[in-house]
Amino acid sequence: MPSQHNTLNPSTFTIKMIVVKNKLFATLLFAALLLPNACQKDIGHSADCSYVPTPNHPKAAAYQAVLDQFVAKGLPGISALVRDADGVWVGASGKADISQNVDMKPCTVSKACSITKTFIGALSLKLVEEGAFALDYPLSKWLSGEVMDNVNNARESTVRMLLNHTSGIADVIDDNSFYLAVLNNPARKWTPDELIPYVYGDAPEFAPGTDASYSNTNFLLLVMVIEAATGQDHARLLREKIIEPLDLSNTSYYWHDPLPANTAQGYFDLYNNGTILNMTNYNTGSGNGYGGLYSNVYDLQTFIEALVREKKVLSAAGLAQMLTFTDPVEDANRANGLGIFRDFLERAPDEYAYGHRGRDLGYTADMYWFPEKDLTMVYFVNYGTDAKSNLKETFFDFRNAMTDAVME
């Protein structure tokens, strides 16, 4: 049965234990600092968000059936795009906004979460090509002594290690006090200087360059490098060098850009009791390199295909650097490139893909191009899978089912 869907409006001071990235954290929720419906961004809904389905695609019914099946199992809304040998199929199912009864559509803008890292990775490599900085220079060339002295492993790390997650630097979103700060002030617009102290003194995962472990702090430090090396705002550079040249008119980088009217609300079963709450305004550091991109399936198709299929974003040398991967990450079924994954390594040898996963508290997304098959698969789900809930497994079942359908 689908889960119930409610707007979060807690009326008591509550301590609740949730799991983030498979680690247990105390998170603080209380009503005194929240107005009713405070977790819903005032974004409205656009009347011109329309699309023409592709019924002539031979797998249209199969693809749509997967979306409908997993909305029936409780995922609030899904939008998806597949480009295969038979053309482009787009579809959607469920709701973009439950309380306002707004349907999810392929044109609906949703949060791309950590797919942001591939955009920032592409920007970084363009700046390397322009001579702004080098991949193998130490971070100490650009970052302050305070950061070098207080972030373990930073002094020994390079830009390349940030991009492929081999720095061993602790993850800011795994810090208890940061998550408490987010839940105390959900809509706060964080800056890098406000975020980086949350990892001061945190133990590193390993010595730099000896292993690979995903850490959002890597991309937080990366945008600090970009801004120090160029003297410019990284969000403006992202728009000027990546978003605008590709005409990604449905893509925004929150909080630096306003969100469009047709932005989906994001949901999560916070108490894991079958009641989905609106978590739209819970900002886990958006706009600081590791998250914050909002887009739709059309723009993400354009981006990933321009980057790795058409090879028109970076030089051949830059793309070769980007697609240089670590050894497969244990238990993750992927290997890390420079802001990009080689993913689906659990599948047949010719079914790997280039792209990125996106996971946040109220949203989920995947963006992939399968080079051996020349297939593109992009989807958004407005339900969070960065923390533990029963529907998290439902999402992974959807991911497998969608990929199976694409590969058949």
In contact, 172 and 217? CB cutoff 8 Å: yes
Structure tokens at 109: 């803008």
Tell me if the pTM is above 0.75.
yes
Which residue is listed with tokens 């390397």? Answer: 128
296-326 b/e with 16+ CB inside 10 Å = b?
bbbbbbbbbbbbbbeeebbeeebbebbbebe
Angstrom distance (rounded) from CA 131 to CA 125: 10
SS3 68: helix
Lowest mean pLDDT among 8-12, 41-45, 143-147: 8-12
Helices 116-129 and 216-230 cross at an angle (nearest 10°) of 30
Confidence of residue 48 (pLDDT cuts 50, 70, 90): low
For residue 404, pLDDT beyond 60: yes
Lowest mean pLDDT among 21-25, 208-212, 313-317, 355-359: 21-25
The length of the chain is 408
In contact, 107 and 49? CB cutoff 8 Å: yes
Average pLDDT over residues 209-216: 97
Structure tokens at 159: 């830009």
* pLDDT score for 19: 36
Confidence of residue 334 (pLDDT cuts 50, 70, 90): very high
Name the residue among 57, 329, 290 with its Cα closest to residue 192: 290
Residue type, 375: L
Confidence of residue 17 (pLDDT cuts 50, 70, 90): very low
pLDDT tens digits, one per residue of 170-190: 999 999 999 899 989 999 999
* pLDDT score for 38: 33
Confidence of residue 50 (pLDDT cuts 50, 70, 90): low
Angstrom distance (rounded) from CA 172 to CA 41: 24
Angstrom distance (rounded) from CA 242 to CA 314: 10
| 3 against 140, higher pLDDT | 140
**Matching CATH number, 4-407, of 3.40.50.970, 3.40.710.10, 3.30.390.50, 3.40.640.10:** 3.40.710.10
pLDDT tens digits, one per residue of 245-296: 999 999 999 999 999 988 999 999 988 899 999 999 999 999 999 999 999 9
For residue 325, pLDDT beyond 50: yes
In contact, 76 and 94? CB cutoff 8 Å: yes
Confidence of residue 45 (pLDDT cuts 50, 70, 90): very low
pLDDT tens digits, one per residue of 106-159: 999 999 999 999 999 999 999 999 999 999 999 999 999 999 999 999 999 999
Angstrom distance (rounded) from CA 314 to CA 49: 32
Average pLDDT over residues 53-66: 88
In contact, 368 and 354? CB cutoff 8 Å: yes
* pLDDT score for 53: 58
Confidence of residue 51 (pLDDT cuts 50, 70, 90): low
| Dihedral sign, Cα of residue 283, residue 104, residue 356, residue 310 | negative
For residue 13, pLDDT beyond 70: no
Angstrom distance (rounded) from CA 119 to CA 243: 9
Average pLDDT over residues 367-390: 96
Angstrom distance (rounded) from CA 336 to CA 213: 9
Average pLDDT over residues 299-304: 97
| 333 against 50, higher pLDDT | 333
| 112 against 330, higher pLDDT | 112
* pLDDT score for 387: 87
* pLDDT score for 115: 98
* pLDDT score for 20: 38
